[in-house]
Chains A and B, each alone.
Chain A
């Protein structure tokens, strides 16, 4: 099958210059004041370019990599990449020694320069981040990889720049797994699909012969757990992305659904429905031991572990309506945490551990929101006709979810799309997909 995780990444040199008065980006305040940044096209010598053109059919791979970086920075909402037409310095010279006055003139506060070389059948990329006002280098790194990984180089550069300037890990060298949708509402065809975080390199993992729902990555991004209606038996499955091998999780005499991995990747937590009652179970993937976690005549579903694995948040209608509950990982100490007006579903624990994202339904509108793990500090980030199922970026700063539009009686006007929004409630964006899409799940960082 598709081999995704074969990046040979070597960091050659890495030194951070600690200096005073360097630029910082505050990521807690939304995108009110994005940092003006100049992303100079990575310079490329003509011999390397000739050879690389044979591989890619791209005019200039250096410029292509820098536009990956530029697009990432722009989508983050925290940066304002400046128009290249205004750049005065040539890429190769800027990379050696930027003339800071030139960059200050176009109001750049930070500058990214770099160089690409093709050597021993590999792509060697180096880049530097400069503080324009202080006139100092902030970071210099180099990578070597197979040429087909060129987009990942762009994502890794963005992660390094983001981390250097915000003080937090990035989320750009990541993938999204989701359900690609086609066809009329009454006979929707659904396939598992995987793509880079920026919407490129889409691959389909199933053919659409059976209904598939709610895919989720394991912590190392090599496995996916999801619901499949294979042979009309809705069951939780496990798929190895590299080998394509699939298996049913456990041997349940009824529907299993709403799967997620435990943070250590060793267990799958899910719901099992029988005789009109859904409860939460775990299955250990090594010894196949199944444990029942909840035992209640209500619907208990959408379980999600805390990042330390000690707690589980889930959705139950035991109060009469869907609400969010938290319990210990053995099912004890069940506590309701959602008390606002309306119904609450799809709780999912932030990778930082402090917040739980959720879907809320109130007066015919759907909201994506967050609350603290004790239920306090509820904050609604976005309101719409229909949206649900948030998934966190690995740094806990962005949520991706899906949104459906209203249709008329013939089903016209219906669409399902992926959207992202910052935890601040700012920077709401459509995530471009090849087809309609739903049930997104964000991977962890592919390289650290």
Chain B
């Protein structure tokens, strides 16, 4: 029996391509909620969990009968910023609509959102992916609309409790065109969007607290086919890596269904990150009819050209512009520059550090941050408050530049600073990591290594020059990274040849 998909016959050898569109909910970093004066985010220094349950509410966001929404102008400005930073057209007239569904954490029985006429339309993002960011593509943004968040249901001991602190928190939903063709592109899109909304200051970017949540629409089709296959929506994944993995899983699952002669159904699925699989939440038949209609409590949102232009003029340097500038000014590799400029905190740290140690040391600084710094931070427990200061990085960059420490030792120093804090100079002294450029100190070390490894010495002398690296590595290890690498290499060569 021959199988077909979208009118094309398919078998195990058919190459399929994924069609991915993303809907990202970005929480706007306003102090008050979108339609009420209640606090929208925890007091400075607090996490969401620190806030007393149902404390950040007013009768309006609790949906009390008789209350009316009043639009937070700051949230509008933030949404416009996001629209402009993603090259959207800003609609000078947009409409708020009610989206109806029953759920205990939706206090009004509807969510105020935008439907027919959203605030922003027709933008795009340029993404880069691949090992060194060598793949690039422009992804269209269909629309960005404003809406309110729901409350949070907490289930325990057979009861369901509702916390309305989050109800009415301002969100924008950024809807992409279905133009991504694989998990890596989706990941790159999310990282770029995240970099932009955090760089322009409209989102705090706290992934653990759900500041940036993603729904992915995924379908597949045999390569070359223009039509779309049956679409599956994967809901609410809040880590970039999990989105990639969920899509990866989903693409393969859909391929299996097609190749086993099954039929894909339009449905909403959830991703289980522990099992790394998606499972069905509801099918299209079970989907709600949201019964959108214009919210009669909110007049159309009317903006002037001047308002929009004033916001455009206030936009800071965007990640792409900053990346190009860093390449120019510090001679960074494109990929490294992307890494540094796509994270607000690293970007800020870099900027502050470079101001201290001078731009001529920017490249060393970048290497320290990208190599070891980012690895340390990302592997640490996110709840811990360990971190680096600009002073630490700039001191260390200077120490590397004037050869006080080797790059290898610098990495050890970073790890110590990260774990214990402290000053660069003090750590160097305490750990005895000052670079050894003294020939008389290195010579005995090398002699010993050569004596212990006669086989490798023989190999080198018979023309296998690659073995050089082995000796240098051994010598570095023996000196705990303190040896001046250039000096060391010269010395090894001299000894081997001599």
Partners in one complex: no
